[in-house]
Amino acid sequence: MNKIIVLGSINMDLVVSASRVPEGGETISGSRFQTIPGGKGANQAVAIARQGGEVAMIARVGNDGFGDELIAKLAENNVGVKRVKRDDTCSTGVALIVVEKSGQNRIIIVAGANGQVSSADVDEANDLFDQCDYLVMQLEIPLTTVIYAIAAAKSKHIQTVLNAAPAPSSLFEESMLKQIDYLLVNETEAEAIAGMPVKNLKSAYEVAQSLQYKTSGKVILTLGDQGAVAADGNSVWHTPSFKVKAVDTTAAGDAFTGGLINSLQQGIPLKDAIIHANAAGALAACKFGAQPSLPTLEEIREFLFLNMPIKKQ
């Protein structure tokens, strides 16, 4: 039984490590190159599975070597792949990632098969919806498919989770936002949806509250190393981050999302789930690569035991 469905992207990450990003027309030397399984959807599914969650994906890959490897890696991590299709019309999605010495990253995505994920794929996964508690989505697949899946999930009383990443190019319809139970955004994504900038903690409170008014559910606004601000319709609060030495933040947000949803599915209250998610994100930032950096439940528990949850403000 797959209690969590992830509808989203599967990419092969082509990762270059360098001291910095080159200027226009400039060539610099990198220090390392790797091919690493990624894609926000796949990352979040693996994050959930590594923490003991029962999860399956609805997705597409190309009929190529990258697709073969990515499906195998998902299965190896106990992610259900029955509804991951092979598409003969295009390549597997790829992401070109440059990781700077500071741990910050710059990413260019070629959607490939991710751009072909359709409402028909959702319909064909009806068996998964019949045994699901949470549907988790991102924006690396067509928005029309996301909207269709949200409606399908709500018709079956499934909790809907939208990690609105990458940032949408236009404002969402209010009718769509009203069907989202949990909206997860960073500063850039929050500004794109709310039309209000996040400049500091005070403005983060205001933006989170504004977004909550637009939805029927809860909003979690992540602030990188400043933690997260959440709004649930009754209150708005800040949960500080755990301080770590970041080496690669590529999958920190996906680790956060996976940790949050896995905790919620187990009945953990939102405030405590965010602490757990912050720990997952912090641990992921300490390792290189997307999926290789995603922590296990045991690693998160040990981290929390050693660091003690920071008191919420």
The residues assigned a catalytic role are 254
Residue 127 has a CB neighbour count (10 Å cut-off) of 12
Query: What's the 3-state SS for the chain?
Result: CCCEEEECCCEEEEEEECCCCCCCCCCCCCCEEEEEEECHHHHHHHHHHHCCCCEEEEEEEECCHHHHHHHHHHHHCCEEEEEEEEECCCCCEEEEEEECCCCCEEEEEECHHHHHCCHHHHHHCHHHHCCCCEEEECCCCCHHHHHHHHHHHHHCCCEEEEECCCCCCCCCCHHHHCCCCEEEECHHHHHHHHCCCCCCHHHHHHHHHHHHHHCCCEEEEECHHHCEEEECCCCEEEECCCCCCCCCCCCHHHHHHHHHHHHHHCCCCHHHHHHHHHHHHHHHHCCCCCHHHCCCHHHHHHHHHHHCCCCCC
In the structure encoding, which two tokens stand for residue 238, read together? 């800040």
Give the residue among 8, 257, 3, 45 at the shortest CA–CA distance from 133: 3
Distance (Å, rounded) from C-alpha 131 to C-alpha 179? 20
Question: Any bridge partners for residue 275, and if so which?
Answer: none
